[in-house]
Amino acid sequence: MLLRDVSINRLVDKKKGTINPIIFSDPDIYQQELELIFARMWLFVGHESQIPNPGDFVRSRMGEEQVIVTRGRDQQVYVLLNSCAHRGNMVCRYDQGNALAFQCSFHGWTYNSTGALVNLPPGSEEAYAPDLRKEEWGLLRARVELFNGTIWATWDHSAPSLVDYFGGSEIYMVPPLLDAEGEDSGTEVLGTVMRWRVGMNWKLPMPDNDTTHFRITHRSALAVRRQYQDDGPRPPRPRQNYHVWFPEGHTTTMSLEDVGDEVLLGNDDPVVNEYLRERYETRKKRLGKLAYRMELPHIFPNMGAVGRCVRVLHPQGPTETEMWSWFLVDKNAPAEIKAAFARGEELARGPGGMIQKDDMENWAIQTQYSKYHMTRTRLTFNAQLGLSQASLHGPTSFGLPGMFDSSPTDANIRGFYYRWADVMAAKDWGELRIDNPAR
């Protein structure tokens, strides 16, 4: 069954601001997402610091499937489907390493870092002749673009350029990808990628930057934090808080109050705070009013973020998701600072972290309930908070990209799901062009 146009528009009702629960568990909708979303959109696959040298590779995912992210002899980054062109066996079985060739363990077809088929088992090349033309039997190669150290790929060669795809949200991506002094290429991935599975639909944590759930879902974590922070000064809570969304489905939050380095220094660790404080003046000279930002935006469809941690949601079935986290740190920071960053991230944002596990429980229950008869047939999910309030056009109102809605609001939730509906209904990229850009 193909759900297009009218059906999809009824699942996400833009007039009412409601979402039909079936989009979180229906197998037909999920199958269409694999083609219409994961085979067409730009997807985050890794960071350049993971593969600094020719031959370095890491495994990653695009949608359900594995890809090999590798650097060739020519220093270029290639993203290849980890599925043999002969008969689909897994070509690379290691999470990371260095290899300029990948030999399939089934019949021995061998590919180089660009994905080209370079070698067939002894004797078979002559036996295949004249039917097999090696240049037609390479690994499937995605289109790749880099952005400040991050690596992105898409299977759709008619997709717009990566920066066009970001639609202005890249302005908010830059500050957390620079180091504390605002130095270009100053960040690296700390350790290896953290990965875990949750029995939930991949969309539920998108977006996770709505401020409405924080004080309820994370009440216990906040209570613990308050206990051991009581003696110290608390950073002021910014008043002019906005949710910022893009017609392309990307979202973030933003304070327009000049709260200076107090927001940047939101880390609980005094050693980290001292490190950031010492470098803040230099950073401010380079980045101006966005210097305080250490929060990556969410990028449609599946790159979420918590602070400087990239969190990607890889679908593994309609009700199963693999969460991957890349923790970014300053490349040149002393080891004790990197360790302190790591401790903070694990305590809050790892799979057993105080913040992350609160969220995961809600998302798993939502997924389960979206399968139950009464929920899926009688309920619609509500995203009406602030629906009748007009969004402000960031470029003309504040000189900043994005559409601004003052908090509390469900504007970011609507921004994501309205784009989801548009992408699911569009035949091709020609229908997905944005008429009213927010950049």
- Binding-site ranges for ligand FES (CB under 6 A): 84, 86-87, 89, 104, 106-109
Per the CB < 8 A criterion, the answer to whether 142 and 155 are in contact is: yes
Q: List, in sequence order, every residue forming a beta bridge with 406; answer none if it has no partner.
A: 242
Q: How far is CA 371 from CA 22, 199, 347, 363, in A?
A: 7, 12, 32, 13
Burial group, residue 302, by CB count within 10 angstroms (0-12, 13-18, 19+): buried
CB nearer to ligand FES: give 57 or 416. 57
CB nearer to ligand FES: give 94 or 372. 94
Q: Which does 107 bind (CB under 5 to 8 A by kind): ligand FES, Fe ion, none?
A: ligand FES
Report d(CA 194, CA 45) in Å as an integer: 14
In the complex, minimum distance from the CB of residue 213 to Fe ion, in angstroms, rounded to a whole number: 6
In the complex, minimum distance from the CB of residue 139 to ligand FES, in angstroms, rounded to a whole number: 10
Q: And the tokens for 176? A: 């957390």
CB nearer to Fe ion: give 154 or 367. 367
Q: Which does 84 bind (CB under 5 to 8 A by kind): Fe ion, ligand FES, none?
A: ligand FES
Q: Which does 403 bind (CB under 5 to 8 A by kind): Fe ion, ligand FES, none?
A: none
In the complex, minimum distance from the CB of residue 104 to ligand FES, in angstroms, rounded to a whole number: 3
Rg (CA), the chain: 23
Per the CB < 8 A criterion, the answer to whether 320 and 54 are in contact is: no
CB nearer to Fe ion: give 261 or 359. 359
∠ CA(388), CA(390), CA(394), 5° rounding?
A: 150
CB nearer to ligand FES: give 88 or 235. 88
Backbone dihedral angles phi then psi of residue 15, each to the nearest 5 degrees: -70, -45
Q: Which does 359 bind (CB under 5 to 8 A by kind): ligand FES, Fe ion, none?
A: Fe ion
CB nearer to ligand FES: give 89 or 362. 89
Q: And the tokens for 270? A: 């005094």
Residue reference for tokens 């790591």: 342
Report d(CA 416, CA 243) in Å as an integer: 12
In the complex, minimum distance from the CB of residue 109 to ligand FES, in angstroms, rounded to a whole number: 4
Q: Which does 371 bind (CB under 5 to 8 A by kind): ligand FES, Fe ion, none?
A: none
Q: Please name the residues in contact with 144: beta carbons below 8 A apart, sequence gap of 6 or more.
A: 76, 77, 78, 79, 151, 152, 153
Backbone dihedral angles phi then psi of residue 71, each to the nearest 5 degrees: -110, 125
Report d(CA 68, CA 82) in Å as an integer: 6
Residue reference for tokens 């105080």: 354
In the complex, minimum distance from the CB of residue 65 to ligand FES, in angstroms, rounded to a whole number: 15
CB nearer to Fe ion: give 17 or 205. 205
Neighbouring CB atoms inside 10 A of 313's CB total: 23
Per the CB < 8 A criterion, the answer to whether 298 and 207 are in contact is: yes
Q: Is 425 helix (H, G, I), strand (E, B) or coil?
A: helix
CB nearer to ligand FES: give 91 or 328. 91
CB nearer to Fe ion: give 56 or 359. 359
Residues near Fe ion, by CB under 5 A = 359
Report d(CA 267, CA 278) in Å as an integer: 14
Q: Which does 351 bind (CB under 5 to 8 A by kind): ligand FES, Fe ion, none?
A: none
